[in-house]
Amino acid sequence: MSKAHSTRTEQTQTTDVARTEDESGRAGGAADRTCPECDGGLHAEDGETVCDDCGLVVSEYRIDHGPEWRSFADDDRNPKRTGAPLTRSRHDKGLSTEIGRSTRLKGRKRRRLARMRRQHNRARISTKRERNQVYAFTEIRRLTGELSLPDRIRDHACSLFDSAQNEDLLRGRSLEGFAAACVYAACRVAGVSRTTDEVTDAAKATADEQSAAYDALNRELGLPVGPIDPAEYIPRFASELELSGDVERRAREYVEKATERGLSVGRNPSGVAAACLYTAARDADAGVTQKEASNVAGVTPVTLRSTYTDLRDDE
């Protein structure tokens, strides 16, 4: 028998074994799942799960949400083919491309690549609208990071800024003020407890710029904002005042009592929360002063004392 014939025979045997194993694997998988109509076997084909007997499509549009993999020269460093998901926090939704970097390039080639990268970055921003978006979205990402806000608040704030641009609300107003206003508005819509003073302290805009931008947003876009529950402030304020869990639970009870009796109507929610925490701290002899509690909430001691007095009078 010739060597070539022997090789072909071995390849044929190997192929037959692989085919047999593949068929047995499919049979085993099909045995685990049966058709809900006729109890026939199922198999996957073109993203659909189909019955072998009656042809019923049991499921379709099966999508693998995991990363795709590639086989390129940088497999050892970056084996994924796809990039980051779409995001509202980028002016181009995260779809732009970037020119990579390499430490293996030297001299003239490295400088040429740097020039290409610089020109490419400039070409990504072609209009004044895009420049404003890049600057404002960068500020929004910085603010949400500094305030420890979730990604959904960041994306909603960027979406609000985009809507403000479409309505031409930015004319004559500060970009920094609108970025801060969008973050605060997103917090209000989502019921996330952040005060205007907290946002202003973290922002590059003044309180007046932020207030004017927020008023324009609320007036022109009709934001579905409502009063924030004072209880949302309790955990953060208690942590800043280093109060125990028992004091925090007692403060929540005072918030419920204040809400039931209408003491929180027309009052600053953060001030109500601070008054409830101060009252609970007094009950536990935690040693918190009115000034400390009011500073955490960004209200005056007079505001805190007014709510505290009403809480005590109702006991």
Q: Is 54 annotated as a binding residue?
A: yes
Q: Is 51 annotated as a binding residue?
A: yes
**Alpha carbon separation from 181 to 89, 163, 177, 211, 212 (Å, rounded):** 16, 13, 6, 7, 9
Q: Is 276 annotated as a binding residue?
A: no
Count CA atoms within 13 Å of residue 296 on its CB side. 25
Distance CA(44)–CA(60), nearest Å, equals 9
Q: Which residues pair with 222 in a beta bridge?
A: none
Q: Minimal CA–CA distance to 209: which of 139, 296, 155, 301? A: 139
Which alpha helices (DSSP H) does the chain contain, by range? 3-32, 107-123, 128-146, 151-166, 175-190, 196-202, 207-221, 234-240, 245-260, 269-283, 290-297, 301-313
Q: What is the DSSP string of 242-279?
A: T--HHHHHHHHHHHHHHHHTTTTTTS-HHHHHHHHHHH
Query: Which residues participate in the annotated binding site for Zn(2+)?
Result: 35, 38, 51, 54
Query: Which residues participate in the annotated binding site?
Result: 35, 38, 51, 54
